[in-house]
Amino acid sequence: MNPNKELWEKGDFTRIAASMRESGEALVKDLGVANGLDVLDLGCGDGTTALPAARLGANVLGVDIASNLVEAGNARAQSLGLSNCRFQEGDASDLQEIKEDSFDLVISIFGAMFAPKPFEVAKEVVRVTRPGGRIVMGNWIPNDPTLVAQILKICSSYSPPPAEGFISPMTWGVEDNVIERFGAAGVPEDKIRFKRDTYTFNFPVAPSELLAEFRAYYGPTMNAFEAATANGREHDLQAELQALFNEQNTGASKDATSIPATFLRVTVGL
């Protein structure tokens, strides 16, 4: 089994995505998605950005490595009556089923960054984007002090060292790496723009409940808890994450969670 696929099928990202809907919708609006635009959403999960793009009239294909999320995305599109949005399984580093120059806009929000072989990812997204089209990636930033970068940092400190040759997904949050990867795919540096942006995780209950969702359903956190439990460090991990969620919460009360997280927004114009 592909370990990348296994990681994301292990949990159920729909449970986390439920707290990301407002930011997903706002981001898509900000991209100026319009009627008839052909959009690929790569590492789309259950459609946090794909469905709002389809609601704005785009023809959307969502591609994700996790079959459970593809199924969830198709069910959501169907229940919303969006016949212009479909989801299929695929790997961001090898989009063999997609012809070149197929899309006006390729979006990948915290998606393709998790695929191994980042140079292949850049090559593939450039290949399937039409000349004059756009690629927009949202990538978490290494050592950023906000929620997700910190969750991933804390989790990796409780997990066994990665296999040799593993390239951290967080390297997509470093501008020089992004320039190098798209450069190798034939994109000059002056076609790439960077911006710090924010996603807010909103959940109508206490931060401890959102942490419980991450612990039970988010692959990287699940793996860290498994490793920590095996080493007798489960309570330390729980305490570290709980302190993080509490500190970062800007919700109006202790029983409402609203946690902003900073990411690197990358826009590539072809």
Ligand X SMILES: C[S@@+](CC[C@H](N)C(=O)[O-])C[C@H]1O[C@@H](n2cnc3c(N)ncnc32)[C@H](O)[C@@H]1O
Residues at the interface with ligand X (CB under 6 A)? 4, 8, 13, 17, 20, 24, 43-45, 48-49, 64-66, 69, 91-93, 109-111, 114-115
Contacts of 81 (CB under 8 A, 6+ apart): none
Indicate the residue among 133 and 138 with the shorter CB distance to ligand X.
138
Beta-carbon-side half-sphere exposure of residue 120 (alpha carbons within 13 Å): 11
Q: Whole-number minimum distance, CB 136 to ligand X, in Å?
A: 12
Q: Which is nearer to ligand X, 91 or 104 (CB)?
A: 91
- Tell the smallest beta-carbon distance from residue 10 to ligand X (Å): 10
Comparison of 6 and 226: residue with beta carbon closer to ligand X: 6
Residue closer to ligand X (CB basis): 4 or 249 = 4
Closer residue to ligand X in complex, CB, 6/189: 6
Could you tell me the smallest distance in angstroms from the CB atom of residue 23 to ligand X? 9
Which two three-digit tokens encode residue 137? 């990636």
Q: H or E element: which one contains 61?
A: strand 59-64
Contact status, residue 41 vs residue 60, Cβ threshold 8 Å: yes
Q: In what order do the strands lie in the sheet with 103-109?
A: 85-89, 59-64, 38-42, 103-109, 129-140, 257-269, 192-203
Nearest C-alpha neighbor of 92 from the set 160, 2, 16: 2
Nearest distance in Å: CB 121, ligand X: 8
Give CA–CA dist 44/86, Å, rounded.
11
Asked if 233 contacts 157 with a C-beta cutoff of 8 angstroms, the reply is no
What is the DSSP code (8-state) at residue 229? H
Least distance CB 235 / ligand X (angstroms) = 26
Q: Cβ 231 to ligand X, closest distance in Å?
A: 26
Nearer to ligand X, 197 or 234 (CB): 197
Whether the CB-CB separation of 222 and 160 falls below 8 Å is answered with no
Ranked by CB distance to ligand X, the top (closest) residue is 45
